[in-house]
Amino acid sequence: MKYYIGIDLGGTNIAAGVVDEEYKIVGKASVKTNLPRPADEICDDMAKAARMAAEKANISIDDVEWVGIGSPGTANTDTGILEYTNNLDFHNLPLKAEMEKRLGKDVYIENDANAAAYGEAIAGAAKGKQNVVAVTIGTGIGGGVIINGRIYGGQYFAGAELGHMGIVYNGRQCTCGRKGCMEAYASATGLKNLTKEAMEKDPQSKMWELTDGDIKNVSGRTAFDAMRQGDKSGKEVVDTYIEYLGYGLANFVNIFQPEILVIGGGVCNEGEALIAPLRDYIDNHTMAISPEVNTKLMVAQLGNDAGIIGAAFLGRMKK
């Protein structure tokens, strides 16, 4: 059996896992990222997490084929340099070289959303498919694109920033500096903003009861829970949110024509209340030739493990 290590470098946690050739995580460990602090210290802790994961898998680093790292930001997969990441405040960090020095193994790097998309393509909801788009809906919207079995990063390794596709001209302000981005409308943050606006317009909405009368308690579930209780304003929020999300997802289908469109994130816990109308929307707003070749919408299966599994197999694309 061959083993690989995947590291998911996040703003809160550094998670590492030993993954076998059947895509199973056989040992896992995590440490706090503890930002802000110097890159050297974070690299030390990534190496520490990798060794801890190997120990839990009852192997040593010597038994590992290679190590892959998924990091936020622009990861130059040719040079191994993490060129820029806002949350970690790294600029032109030679991440590959630094980690090879610490671990004594070949190291490969990639953007974290791309690594997670690759994980779903090789071991999750899109397992075995060659053309996949994966979208993660959280505080923001992340995404990754797999074309012919390989991660698409664009000419300068910053492609597939799916959340920052404009869906409303001159619309809501996005954190990226543009206006009208999909992230500003269809992320969990966008859903909460829609909910708060509807509550302010409707003092009788059940959403007030569900939040104990405090708009600060709004969550991504509030409008869906209200809708299930027959609340008109709650249903309007859900319908509007699905329109925004569906509009963006349909664009991805029309651009890439993937076999599978995978969506993940907490909002997917709403199940068919979200997925069924999204499927209808995408089917009615995309350019498929016939129903037999329609892109299939699937919910992500790997959760937080997608980034670890995808990162663990980055070396496969370099071999």
Binning pLDDT at 50, 70 and 90, where does residue 19 land?
A: very high
Other CB atoms within 10 A of residue 272 CB: 9
Binning pLDDT at 50, 70 and 90, where does residue 127 land?
A: very high
* pLDDT higher than threshold 70 for residue 319: no
CATH class for the region spanning 128-299: alpha beta
pLDDT (0 to 100) of residue 236: 98
Counting Cα atoms < 13 Å in the Cβ hemisphere of 238 gives 26
* pLDDT higher than threshold 80 for residue 291: no
pLDDT digits (tens, 9 = 90+) for 158-177: 888 999 999 999 999 998 89
Phi, psi (deg, nearest 5) at residue 276: -60, -50
pLDDT digits (tens, 9 = 90+) for 181-214: 999 999 999 999 999 999 999 999 999 999 999 9
Domain boundaries, the chain: 3-122+304-317, 128-299
Burial class, 161, CB count within 10 angstroms (exposed 0-12 / middle 13-18 / buried 19+): middle
Binning pLDDT at 50, 70 and 90, where does residue 132 land?
A: very high
Mean pLDDT rounded to a whole number for the chain: 95
How are strands ordered across the β-sheet holding 81-85? 74-76, 81-85, 90-93
* pLDDT higher than threshold 90 for residue 15: yes
Q: Read off the pTM.
A: 0.90
* pLDDT higher than threshold 90 for residue 293: no
pLDDT digits (tens, 9 = 90+) for 57-106: 999 999 999 999 999 999 999 999 999 987 788 999 999 999 999 999 99
Other CB atoms within 10 A of residue 247 CB: 18
Burial class, 295, CB count within 10 angstroms (exposed 0-12 / middle 13-18 / buried 19+): buried
* pLDDT higher than threshold 90 for residue 287: no
Determine the residue type at 248.
Answer: G
User: What is the per-residue burial (b if ≥16 Cβ within 10 Å, else e) of 54-83?
Assistant: bebbebebeebbbbbbbbbbbbbbeebbbb
Q: Which fold has domain 3-122+304-317?
A: Nucleotidyltransferase; domain 5 (3.30.420)
Phi, psi (deg, nearest 5) at residue 220: -70, -15
